[in-house]
Amino acid sequence: MYFDFHVTTIIPALNEERSIGTVVNELKQLQHNNKNLIDRVIVCDNNSTDKTADIAVSFGAEVIYEKTKGYGAACLSAISQVSNTDILLFVNADQSEQLSEVENLLHALIEHKADLVIGSRMLGQQESRALSVHQKWGTQIATFLLRKIWGANVTDLGPFRAIRFRSYKNLKMQDRNYGWTVEMQAKAISNGLKVIELPVSALAGSSPSRISGHVSGAILASIKILGFIVIHAINHKLLTR
């Protein structure tokens, strides 16, 4: 609980047995005014073939299963289990984020009365090999389009983010794979929600990203992300004429 706001953490995970226990434990240990900062941790096992789910449970997380692989699919499945919370916090399972910065995201969301706070790795400190060259280029192109089309002050599509639950429900999220993060940002911006960025640390993590860590994955993700931005922009302009 953070200033009487109930916080639910969503963690999509695929074969992260080396790191998931540490991530869940760190979240469980976070405190504010001697009270737990995080009220609920939900891990969505995205068809892992290792002990990700068992380890997550052993550290006190709730685990659900989604056989269809995809970041968005895992997030949607996890959130389908949530009916009553104030804030959704999204965290990676691979230790690529500095979880001591969680309170900074929550504070910004409440203090600035924002709907969505994005942790920007581009504005924060980056460990060596935390972000690949093609990941940086793809992010720059996508954020350039978001700024150009909607005039938004955007530097990153970072998955480390917090959103008010009521705002999330209004977005009617649908993407089941690479386009999840940009869908949330583009819809929030185009719908007039208050979106702010906050510098966060980018860590190398325990394993290479299954998307950005490989050229083929990065290309597919870039096509999906850029395509979504263009299509959403066209639809939004048609709807707001």
pLDDT in tens, 158-180: 999 999 999 999 999 999 988 89
For domain 7-239, the CATH superfamily is Spore Coat Polysaccharide Biosynthesis Protein SpsA; Chain A (3.90.550.10)
Q: What is the pLDDT of residue 215?
A: 56
Indicate the domain borders of the chain. Answer: 7-239
Strand partners, 65: 45
Task: Give the angle 212-213-216 at the CA atoms, nearest 5°.
Answer: 70
pLDDT in tens, 134-160: 788 888 888 998 898 888 899 999 999
**pLDDT at 208 > cutoff 60:** no
- The contacts of residue 199 (CB under 8 Å, 6+ apart) are 119, 120, 123, 124, 125
Positive or negative torsion for Cα 76, 230, 171, 31:
positive
* Mean pLDDT value of segment 219-228: 68
- 23 token code pair: 């991530």
Is 186:140 a contact under the CB 8 Å cutoff?
Answer: no
What's the chain look like in SS3?
CECCECEEEEEEECCCCCCHHHHHHHHHHCEECCEECCCEEEEEECCCCCCHHHHHHHCCCEEEECCCCCHHHHHHHHHCCCCCCCEEEECCCCCCECHHHHHHHHHHHHHCCCCEEEEECCCCCECCCCCCHHHHHHHHHHHHHHHHHHCCCCCCCCCCEEEEHHHHHHHCCCCCCCCHHHHHHHHHHHCCCCEEEEECCECCCCCCCCCCCCHHHHHHHHHHHHHHHHHHHHHHHHHCC
**pLDDT at 191 > cutoff 70:** yes
